[in-house]
Amino acid sequence: MNKEIVCSGIRPTGNLHLGNYFGALRNFVKMQDECDCYFFIADYHSLTTHPTPDNLYRNARQILIQYLAAGLDPERCTIYLQSDLPETIELYLFFNMNAYLGELERVTSFKDKVRQQPNNVNAGLLTYPTLMAADILIHKASKVPVGKDQEQHLEMTRTFAQRFNNMYKCDVFPLPQAYNFGSELVKVPGLDGSGKMGKSEGEQNAIFFTDEPAVIRKKIMRAKTDSGPTEMNQTKPVEIENLFTLLKIVSSADAVAYYDDLYNRCQIRYGDLKKQLAEDMVNFTQPFRERIEELSKDEQYLVRVMDRGKEKARESARKTITEVRHIIGYRN
């Protein structure tokens, strides 16, 4: 039986954090045996923010190291650089011919960027979803492990796939779904009491794979709390709920139940909860830090992984692009 095809990527814009891990990367790691997996470093997408050549290169290398440190195995899945696959760009062009200004302008992530960087509203940002659709559909992937914030992009991917199939009366593309191994899509909260853990929300809001234990402890001890519960069994305010969500992610069920009970009886001391959370975070990330250090020294291995990944990914991409070109009417 053919294995299900899975594809996902992360932009190389900085070190990976626990949001990236629990939203996306952990799924990559778990799916690599039972599916045919293509995991890439989205170094075309990161151009929307105009990185310097040095930063582009360094960040892509860091993401590769961190993919491997988290448990991606190049023997069991295909790991590659998006920019090693020019076929993606050709498919991106085809999708752009049937992507409409109105629908692209309505995408939430685009509207956010217009607000955040009004002086750099470039066409790459506008067509971010068509490039993402091309990434996924170049391998005809049907499952896409991502966090909750990517749901709308997947909806667009299905729109472009369906539109192409309808236009050319074919069923060349599947309609891919955002996927989480645990079932629900995940949103890991940050430490500032609001929203999600993310790079753009500031250094202090996220726990990065590369953070030293002292840094992790400091960040967690500074996480936002309130002055404590005043009534038995009261609903937790957002910032406290967030700390419990983080505790559920890295600590034992017993520890979560223990602090929940103290909260409900108005006897919780946030300092104790934070100490527990910090130690569990330090232990959880320790193996990542060790492997990152080891892998960083092995340049030859990293080059081999990239070369092999490129070869395998292009094989799959060439098949799709040949078929698509023929369907569109480019007959050699």
**Where does this chain bind ligand TRP (CB under 6 A)?**
7-11, 42, 45, 132, 135-136, 144, 146, 150, 153
Residue 30 is among the residues annotated as catalytic for this protein: no
Task: Decide which of ligand ADP, ligand TRP, none touches 9; Cβ closer than 5 to 8 Å per partner kind.
Answer: ligand TRP
* CA–CA separation, 138 and 133 (whole Å): 8
Instruction: Determine if 197 is a binding residue for ligand ADP (CB under 6 A).
Output: yes
| Least distance (Å) between residue 324 CB and ligand ADP | 26
Instruction: Determine if 46 is a binding residue for ligand ADP (CB under 6 A).
Output: no
The C-alpha torsion from 307 through 311 and 312 to 314, rounded to 10°, is 130
Q: Which of 143, 196, 219, 274 is catalytic?
A: 196
Q: Which amino acid belongs to residue 168?
A: Y
What DSSP assignment string belongs to 156-207? HHHHHHHHHHHHTT---S---EEE-TTSS----B-SSSSSB--GGG-GGG--
Write out the binding residues for ligand ADP, residues 133-162 only, by CB under 6 A: 146-147, 149-150
Nearer to ligand TRP, 205 or 276 (CB): 205
Which of 323, 319, 324 is closest to 139 using CA atoms? 319
Nearer to ligand ADP, 172 or 215 (CB): 215
35: Cβ contacts below 8 Å, ≥ 6 apart: 3, 4, 5, 6, 143
| Least distance (Å) between residue 176 CB and ligand ADP | 14
Instruction: Determine if 19 is a binding residue for ligand ADP (CB under 6 A).
Output: yes
Cα angle 307, 63, 84 (rounded to 5 degrees) comes to 35
Nearer to ligand TRP, 42 or 126 (CB): 42
Instruction: Determine if 200 is a binding residue for ligand ADP (CB under 6 A).
Output: yes
Q: Which residues are catalytic?
A: 113, 196, 199
